[in-house]
Protein backbone atom coordinates (compact mmCIF):
# COMPACT_ATOMS: atom_id res chain seq x y z
CA UNK A 1 0.00 0.00 0.00
CA UNK A 2 1.75 3.13 -1.18
CA UNK A 3 -0.53 5.54 0.65
CA UNK A 4 1.61 5.25 3.79
CA UNK A 5 4.73 6.13 1.81
CA UNK A 6 2.99 9.13 0.33
CA UNK A 7 1.71 10.20 3.73
CA UNK A 8 5.24 10.11 5.09
CA UNK A 9 6.48 12.20 2.15
CA UNK A 10 3.74 14.78 2.70
CA UNK A 11 4.41 15.02 6.44
CA UNK A 12 8.14 15.30 5.70
CA UNK A 13 7.46 18.11 3.27
CA UNK A 14 5.35 19.96 5.84
CA UNK A 15 8.07 19.60 8.49
CA UNK A 16 10.81 20.85 6.16
CA UNK A 17 8.68 23.77 5.06
CA UNK A 18 7.92 24.66 8.67
CA UNK A 19 11.65 24.64 9.44
CA UNK A 20 12.38 26.76 6.40
CA UNK A 21 9.83 29.34 7.53
CA UNK A 22 10.90 29.18 11.18
CA UNK A 23 7.43 28.04 12.14
CA UNK A 24 6.75 26.13 15.29
CA UNK A 25 3.40 24.80 14.22
CA UNK A 26 1.78 23.71 10.98
CA UNK A 27 -1.91 24.55 11.13
CA UNK A 28 -3.27 23.22 7.86
CA UNK A 29 -1.84 21.50 4.84
CA UNK A 30 -3.92 21.25 1.70
CA UNK A 31 -2.93 18.42 -0.59
CA UNK A 32 -4.22 18.20 -4.12
CA UNK A 33 -4.66 14.60 -5.15
CA UNK A 34 -5.17 13.83 -8.82
CA UNK A 35 -7.74 11.16 -9.61
CA UNK A 36 -5.43 9.37 -11.97
CA UNK A 37 -3.13 8.45 -9.13
CA UNK A 38 -5.80 6.11 -7.77
CA UNK A 39 -4.94 6.96 -4.24
CA UNK A 40 -7.24 5.66 -1.59
CA UNK A 41 -8.04 8.84 0.24
CA UNK A 42 -9.13 7.16 3.46
CA UNK A 43 -5.81 5.32 3.66
CA UNK A 44 -3.87 8.47 2.89
CA UNK A 45 -5.80 10.45 5.48
CA UNK A 46 -5.24 7.70 8.01
CA UNK A 47 -1.52 7.57 7.26
CA UNK A 48 -1.25 11.33 7.65
CA UNK A 49 -3.06 11.27 10.97
CA UNK A 50 -0.74 8.56 12.29
CA UNK A 51 2.54 9.99 11.01
CA UNK A 52 1.93 13.61 11.94
CA UNK A 53 2.30 12.66 15.60
CA UNK A 54 5.98 11.95 15.03
CA UNK A 55 6.88 15.62 14.76
CA UNK A 56 6.06 18.33 17.31
CA UNK A 57 5.23 20.90 14.65
CA UNK A 58 2.69 18.70 12.85
CA UNK A 59 1.04 17.07 15.85
CA UNK A 60 -2.12 19.15 15.51
CA UNK A 61 -2.02 19.75 11.79
CA UNK A 62 -5.20 19.39 9.80
CA UNK A 63 -4.53 17.74 6.47
CA UNK A 64 -7.09 18.56 3.82
CA UNK A 65 -7.23 16.38 0.74
CA UNK A 66 -8.59 18.06 -2.36
CA UNK A 67 -9.73 16.02 -5.29
CA UNK A 68 -8.26 17.05 -8.62
CA UNK A 69 -10.42 16.07 -11.57
CA UNK A 70 -8.93 14.79 -14.78
CA UNK A 71 -8.63 17.46 -17.42
CA UNK A 72 -7.71 16.86 -21.03
CA UNK A 73 -6.76 19.10 -23.90
CA UNK A 74 -8.01 18.15 -27.33
CA UNK A 75 -5.60 18.58 -30.21
CA UNK A 76 -8.49 18.37 -32.66
CA UNK A 77 -10.78 21.19 -31.49
CA UNK A 78 -8.44 22.77 -28.91
CA UNK A 79 -11.03 22.45 -26.12
CA UNK A 80 -9.99 21.77 -22.55
CA UNK A 81 -12.54 19.65 -20.72
CA UNK A 82 -12.99 17.64 -17.55
CA UNK A 83 -13.48 13.94 -18.17
CA UNK A 84 -14.19 10.78 -16.27
CA UNK A 85 -10.99 9.38 -14.89
CA UNK A 86 -10.81 6.51 -17.35
CA UNK A 87 -12.53 7.93 -20.42
CA UNK A 88 -9.96 9.89 -22.34
CA UNK A 89 -12.08 11.59 -24.95
CA UNK A 90 -12.72 15.25 -25.61
CA UNK A 91 -15.80 16.52 -23.79
CA UNK A 92 -16.54 18.94 -26.62
CA UNK A 93 -16.12 16.93 -29.82
CA UNK A 94 -15.64 13.34 -28.65
CA UNK A 95 -12.23 12.98 -30.25
CA UNK A 96 -9.70 10.65 -28.68
CA UNK A 97 -6.81 12.92 -29.63
CA UNK A 98 -6.42 14.30 -26.14
CA UNK A 99 -3.56 14.87 -23.75
CA UNK A 100 -3.98 14.84 -19.98
CA UNK A 101 -3.25 18.29 -18.60
CA UNK A 102 -4.47 17.80 -15.03
CA UNK A 103 -5.35 14.93 -12.76
CA UNK A 104 -2.02 13.27 -12.12
CA UNK A 105 -0.64 15.62 -9.49
CA UNK A 106 0.09 15.09 -5.87
CA UNK A 107 1.03 18.49 -4.56
CA UNK A 108 0.95 20.44 -1.37
CA UNK A 109 -1.08 23.32 -2.71
CA UNK A 110 -1.47 25.32 0.48
CA UNK A 111 0.09 25.44 3.87
CA UNK A 112 -0.70 27.55 6.89
CA UNK A 113 1.92 27.82 9.60
CA UNK A 114 2.18 29.57 12.90
CA UNK A 115 5.54 30.90 13.82
CA UNK A 116 8.14 33.59 13.68
CA UNK A 117 7.44 34.54 10.13
CA UNK A 118 3.86 35.48 10.93
CA UNK A 119 4.98 37.54 13.91
CA UNK A 120 7.53 39.34 11.76
CA UNK A 121 4.84 39.83 9.12
CA UNK A 122 2.67 41.88 11.46
CA UNK A 123 5.55 44.15 12.44
CA UNK A 124 5.42 46.17 9.25
CA UNK A 125 6.30 46.13 5.60
CA UNK A 126 9.47 44.15 5.30
CA UNK A 127 11.19 43.64 2.01
CA UNK A 128 10.92 40.16 0.54
ZN1 LIG B 1 -12.23 18.11 -29.10
| Separation of CA 72 and ligand 1 centre (Å) | 9
| Separation of CA 90 and ligand 1 centre (Å) | 5
Closest-CA residue to 9 (of 24, 102, 23, 39): 39
Closest-CA residue to 112 (of 13, 18, 5, 9): 18
Encode pLDDT of 21-41 as tens digits. 999 999 999 999 999 998 999
| Separation of CA 84 and ligand 1 centre (Å) | 15
End-to-end Cα distance, the chain = 42
Q: What predicted TM-score, i.e. pTM, was given to this entire model?
A: 0.78
**CA atoms of 67 and 72, how far apart (whole Å):** 16
- Where are the domains positioned within the chain? 3-69+104-114
Q: Which fold has domain 3-69+104-114?
A: hypothetical protein PF0899 fold (3.30.2320)
| Separation of CA 69 and ligand 1 centre (Å) | 18
Encode pLDDT of 34-66 as tens digits. 999 989 999 999 999 999 999 999 999 999 999
| Pair 32, 111: CB distance under 8 Å | no
Amino acid sequence: MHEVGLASQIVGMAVREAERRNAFEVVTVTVTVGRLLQIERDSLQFGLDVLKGEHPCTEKTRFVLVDEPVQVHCSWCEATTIVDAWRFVCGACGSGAVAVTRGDDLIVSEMEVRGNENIAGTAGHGSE
